[in-house]
Amino acid sequence: MRFSVIIPARLASTRLPNKPLADIAGKPMVVRVAERAASSGAEHVLVATDHPDILAACRMHGIDARMTRADHLSGTDRIAEVAAALGLPDDAVVVNVQGDEPLIDPNLIAATAALIAPGVTTATAAHPIHDVADLFDPNVVKVVLDKVGRAMYFSRAPIPWNRDAYAQTRDALPPGPAPLRHIGLYAFSQAFLQAYPTLAASPLERIEALEQLRVLWHGYPIAVHQTEHAPSAGVDTPEDLDRVRRHFGHDS
pLDDT at 14 exceeding the cut of 70: no
Q: What is the model's pLDDT at position 12?
A: 77
Which neighbouring-strand residues pair with 126?
A: 182, 226
179-181-185-191 Cα dihedral, nearest 10 degrees = 40
136 in Cβ contact with 173 (< 8 Å):
no
Kindly report the number of other CB atoms within 10 A of residue 85's CB atom.
12
| pLDDT tens readout for residues 102-126 | 999 999 999 999 999 999 999 999 9
Q: Global pTM?
A: 0.93
| Residue 231: pLDDT band with limits 50, 70, 90 | confident
Give the C-alpha separation, 220 to 99, whole Å: 26
| Residue 15: pLDDT band with limits 50, 70, 90 | confident
Kindly report the number of other CB atoms within 10 A of residue 72's CB atom.
18
| pLDDT tens readout for residues 40-62 | 999 999 999 999 999 999 999 99
106 in Cβ contact with 39 (< 8 Å):
yes
| Mean pLDDT of all residues in 128-152 | 96
| pLDDT tens readout for residues 147-186 | 999 999 999 999 999 999 999 999 999 998 999 999 999 9
120: Cβ contacts below 8 Å, ≥ 6 apart: 150, 221, 223
Q: What crossing angle do the helices spanning 29-38 and 52-60 adopt, rounded to 10°? A: 50
Give the C-alpha separation, 109 to 45, whole Å: 12
| Residue 11: pLDDT band with limits 50, 70, 90 | confident
Give the C-alpha separation, 88 to 189, whole Å: 10
